[in-house]
Amino acid sequence: METAGELAPSARVLLGPGPSSVPSRVLKAMATPLVGHLDPEFVRLMEETKALLRFVFQTKNTLTLPISGTGSAGMEACFVNLIEPGDEVIVGVNGVFGTRMVDIVERCGATPIKIETEWGRVFTPEQVQAALGQSKRPKLVALVHAETSTGAWQPLEEMAKIVHAAGALLVVDAVTSLGGCPVKVDEWGIDACYSGTQKCLSCPPGLSPVTFGQRALEVLRQRKTKVQSWYLDMTMIEKYWGEERVYHHTAPISMNYALREALRLVQEEGLEARFRRHERNHVALAAGLAAMGLPLAAQEGHRLWTLNSVTIPAGVDDAAVRRRLLEEFNIEIGAGLGPLRGRIWRIGLMGDSSSRGNVLLVLSALEEILRTQGHACAPGAGVAAAQVAYAGG
C-alpha cells in the first residue's frame, strides 16, 4: 500500500444542496482540544447548545438537542420514537425526502398513507384534511418544510390545527430551512422537527438538531413497544442530555464544539436579519437567472430562499455545465434527482454561502459556459438584473 499523501482539498465555492461553506470561526472551534463527553465543561457546552437550538427552532421545548448523526438520523429518530407497528402515518410526498419518510415508516411496521403531488409543488390544507379523513386512526402527519430535491417551500401555518383536530401529531423536516427561513415550532404547533447542521447553519455535516414538543413526549412515554432503534431511542438519549447525564454514547465532541460556534454566529446575526439576507440573495439570483432565460422550476409563490431549482434550457448538457463550473470556477452546484434529473440544477444559497458575491459569481460563470453551448442571452444580463434587484431591496 502506498503512503497516503497530505490532505489538500480544493477551495470550492459550495453552492449545491449541501454542505454549505463553513466560517473560519466554526473550523477553529473544531480544532479545540478535546475533553471527555461527561466532563463538566462539556456538560456546560451541552446546556448552551440546547438553549441556542431552542432559539433557532423558536421553541421552549425541553427536549431539544443535536442527535449524533446527519440529518437523516434526525429524520429516523423522529419516526422510530413516535411510531409503533400498526400505526397509520400520513406522509406528504412531493420529492425525494417525502419518499424517504415513507420508507422509514414502512420499516417501523406502520402503514403509510401517501398524499402526492407533482415534484416542485406544495400541499394545501385541504389535501391534508382529505387524507386525514381517509385514515381510521392517524398517528402523525409528516411534511417536508423545505424539499431539497425540488426547491419547494411548504406552508405550515394552518397545518397543525387540522392535524391536532384529528388526534395526530405534526412532524416536520426542516433540514434545508432551519437558520435560513422562519421555522416557528411553537407558534405553528409543530410536535417534532428535525434538521441538519450542514445547510443553513453552516456547520460541517455530522449532527442533526431535533426538538420534541409535549404532545410528542406523551406519545413517546405511552409506547407499548420498545423504540425500534437502540441508538436513536430518545428515552435514553434524553437522560444523557438531561439532568441525569446517564452514559448512552460518546458524543462527537468536536462536532458539538462546531455546532455551538455556528449557532453563536446565527445568534449574533439575529434570526430576522439572517432571514432577510437569504431572501435578498434568492431574489437577486432569481432575477439574474430570469434575465438569462433560466426560470426557477418550483411552484411560484412557494420557492425556497435557500435552495433554487433552475430549469435547464433545451439543448444544454447538464453534466457538462456542472463539470465546467467545478473545474474552471471551483463552483459546486447540484444536479436534479429522480424525475427531475437532467431537467434542473439546484443552486444552494445557504448560511455562509448565501452572499452577494456568490450570487454574482455563479451568474457570471453560468453565462460564460452557457454561451459556449449555444444558449443566447445578452452579455452581462444576469449580473445586471441581480444588481438591479439588490439596489431595489
Q: Which pLDDT belongs to residue 388? A: 98
Mean pLDDT, the chain, rounded, equals 97
Residue 152, domain extent? 24-267
Instruction: Please say which residue of 219, 243, 267 terminates a domain.
Output: 267
Asked whether residue 103 falls in the same domain as residue 231, the answer is yes
Asked whether residue 63 falls in the same domain as residue 135, the answer is yes
Would you say 306 and 181 are in contact if contact means Cβ atoms under 8 Å apart? yes
Q: Is residue 112 part of a domain?
A: yes
- The gap between the terminal CA atoms of the chain, to the nearest Å, is 57
Asked whether residue 223 falls in the same domain as residue 136, the answer is yes
> For residue 92, what are the contacts with CB-CB under 8 A and spacing of at least 6?
98, 115, 116, 117, 123, 128, 141, 142, 143, 144, 154
Q: Which pLDDT belongs to residue 17? A: 97
Is the pLDDT at 117 greater than 80? The verdict is yes
pLDDT in tens, 183-215: 999 999 999 999 999 999 999 999 999 999 999
Would you say 120 and 269 are in contact if contact means Cβ atoms under 8 Å apart? no
Q: Is residue 118 part of a domain?
A: yes
Q: Is residue 368 part of a domain?
A: yes
Is the pLDDT at 216 greater than 80? The verdict is yes
Instruction: Please say which residue of 267, 301, 332 terminates a domain.
Output: 267
Asked whether residue 74 falls in the same domain as residue 182, the answer is yes
Instruction: Please say which residue of 243, 267, 291 terminates a domain.
Output: 267
Q: How many domains does the chain have?
A: 2
Q: Is residue 199 part of a domain?
A: yes
Asked whether residue 312 falls in the same domain as residue 195, the answer is no
Asked whether residue 161 falls in the same domain as residue 289, the answer is no
Q: Which pLDDT belongs to residue 77? A: 98
Q: Is residue 309 part of a domain?
A: yes
Asked whether residue 281 falls in the same domain as residue 258, the answer is no
Is the pLDDT at 46 greater than 90? The verdict is yes
Q: Which pLDDT belongs to residue 377? A: 86
Q: Is residue 17 part of a domain?
A: no
Asked whether residue 245 falls in the same domain as residue 276, the answer is no
When pLDDT is cut at 50, 70 and 90, the band that residue 130 belongs to is very high
What's the count of helices (H) and strands (E) in the chain, helices before strands? 14, 14
Q: Is residue 179 part of a domain?
A: yes
Asked whether residue 123 falls in the same domain as residue 159, the answer is yes
Q: Is residue 8 part of a domain?
A: no
Asked whether residue 139 falls in the same domain as residue 277, the answer is no
Would you say 15 and 358 are in contact if contact means Cβ atoms under 8 Å apart? yes
Asked whether residue 57 falls in the same domain as residue 200, the answer is yes
Mean pLDDT for 264-287 is 98
Asked if the peptide bond before residue 85 counts as cis, ω within 30 degrees of 0, the response is no
CATH number of the domain where residue 75 is located: 3.40.640.10
Q: Is the model's pTM score more than 0.95?
A: yes
CATH number of the domain where residue 315 is located: 3.90.1150.10
DSSP string, 64-130: EEEEES-HHHHHHHHHHHH--TT-EEEEEESSHHHHHHHHHHHHTT-EEEEEE--TT----HHHHHH
Asked whether residue 260 falls in the same domain as residue 342, the answer is no
pLDDT in tens, 369-381: 999 999 988 899 9
